[in-house]
A = this chain, B = another copy of it.
Amino acid sequence: MPRSVDPDARRAAIADAVERIAAREGFAAVTVRAVATHLGASTSAVTHYVRSRDELIGLAVERVVTARREQVEAAVAGLPPGPALRALLEWVVAGPGEAAHRFWLAMVTGAQEDAVLRAELDGFNAWWDGVVGRLVAGAPEAAVLADAVDVVVDGLVVAGFEGVAPWPPQRRRAVIDAVLGPLLGDL
């Protein structure tokens, strides 16, 4: 590699490539070779920064998971429970976008076969459950409401891919209002 290449920029480009490949084809398609091809580089130009497929996946997934946590924390910061849950749902509707949703779904489906994904997802989910758990704590049936939030979030993500075009935000918001509105009113 030429000395003028910024290592952080190179790592970011590698992580970008992993995100694109996984979002499009799933994690089974993420290999050192596929990333090198995507970047128009040699495999050794990739392994100079990540020594294995696990490290490659870890690099990209850790970056995404950290960004998601920061985005969720920023969305709910300083709000009381009801508005915070609405802000969380609005972030799902308007925030990450389709490629990010596809990447996330690739993580969820890939975690069955991949220990790195499983560990990252378990860590995120434990944190997410804590955030949602605190927000629903005052509801009459807190555990069911927390599950309902998870089902609606996941369902909105998947429903975006089922047709040829993703659902517009207003269509997603109407579903949130219809199915969670009455429950959020209790908070």
On A, residues with C-beta under 8 Å from B are 24-29, 102, 105-106, 108-113, 118, 121-122, 125, 141, 144-145, 147-148, 150-159, 161-164, 167, 171, 174-175, 178-180, 182-183
A-B contact pairs, 13 of them (CB 8 A): A25-B26, A25-B113, A26-B106, A108-B158, A108-B161, A108-B162, A109-B161, A145-B178, A151-B155, A153-B155, A154-B158, A157-B158, A179-B180
Total copies of this chain within the assembly: 2
Of A112, A122, A162, the most chain B CB neighbours within 10 A belong to: A162
Task: Return A151 CB to nearest CB of chain B, in Å.
Answer: 3
**Distance between Cα atoms of A110 and B42 in the complex (Å):** 28
Residues of B within 8 A of A105 (CB): 105, 109, 158
Residues of B within 8 A of A175 (CB): 144, 147-148, 151
Residues of B within 8 A of A183 (CB): 178-179
Task: Return A38 CB to nearest CB of chain B, in Å.
Answer: 14
Task: Return A65 CB to nearest CB of chain B, in Å.
Answer: 14
Q: Are B112 and A109 in contact (CB under 8 A)?
A: no
Task: Return A125 CB to nearest CB of chain B, in Å.
Answer: 6
**Distance between Cα atoms of A109 and B105 in the complex (Å):** 8
Residues of B within 8 A of A157 (CB): 154, 158
**Distance between Cα atoms of A122 and B105 in the complex (Å):** 20
Task: Return A178 CB to nearest CB of chain B, in Å.
Answer: 5
**Distance between Cα atoms of A159 and B21 in the complex (Å):** 24
Task: Return A56 CB to nearest CB of chain B, in Å.
Answer: 17
Of A118, A121, A151, the most chain B CB neighbours within 10 A belong to: A151
Of A125, A174, A179, A180, the most chain B CB neighbours within 10 A belong to: A179
